[in-house]
Amino acid sequence: MAIQSDERKLSIYRDADVAARYDERWAGASGQRRDERTRRAIERALARLGPVESLLDVPCGAGRFSAWLSQRTPRYLGADAALAMLAQTRGKCAAPLVAADLAALPLRTRGFDVALCIRLMHLVRDAERRTAFLRELARVSRRAVVVDYVQSESLKVWYARARAGLGLRDHAPSALSREQIRAEFERAGLELLAFEPLRSPGWLSDKVVVLARPAG
């Protein structure tokens, strides 16, 4: 099977049926545990900053974390390029939402304390596009950005890559080393502050939440 392009992977979420079924993958016990690990990692990252008065959540997707984040933060804005996903979020959360492309956010510079980006970067295989997204997150944030990645220093990724090498899966996962992640942040004008793996020890976690701040 050919690897889907970034645009194909991202555009499927504009489909109303895909958006309506999105929560099904997280409905079971395993998905709920993963959500809770993600929330705890985000919470640890935000706790390093002290009080956060405003937060941009982009893409907010189907609103998996929108209600929690809007309750945690006095001023929350959810943004997503897919109207179908925003419709799902509206059913979970009364906070403000906006249709917006992360490549060019219709938001003012330094408009939020924190810009949060969860469950996107692993879908984007093009490094220049990831860096462009990071630059835009850096532009709209005053204090910090919080982004999650699939990290290569994990047992799950090592196993998946071995299976791909043996022809047992169609492609290896899109995973970066911590040094590669750090380099992407630096190219985007961000200073990396902390890695927060979803599991401990870190090599058990394929996902890592990254905290950074605008350089200078």
Domain ranges of the chain: 6-214
Closest CA to 128 of 184, 46, 58, 60: 184
Can you give the pTM of this predicted structure? 0.90
pLDDT tens for the chain, residues 1 to 216: 333 446 666 678 888 888 888 888 777 888 889 999 999 999 999 999 999 999 999 999 999 999 999 999 999 999 999 999 999 999 999 999 999 999 999 999 999 999 999 999 999 999 999 999 999 999 999 999 999 999 998 898 888 888 888 888 887 888 899 999 999 999 999 999 999 999 988 888 899 999 999 997
Q: What is the distance in angstroms between the CA of the first residue and the CA of the last residue of the chain? A: 45
Cα distance between residue 120 and residue 159, in whole Å:
22
Phi, psi of 134 (to 5 degrees): -60, -40
Q: Which residues are within 8 A (CB) of 170 and not within 5 positions of it... i.e. 6 or more apart?
A: 1, 3, 164
The structure tokens listed for 132 are 């462009």
**Superfamily classification of domain 6-214:** Vaccinia Virus protein VP39 (3.40.50.150)
Cα distance between residue 15 and residue 95, in whole Å:
23
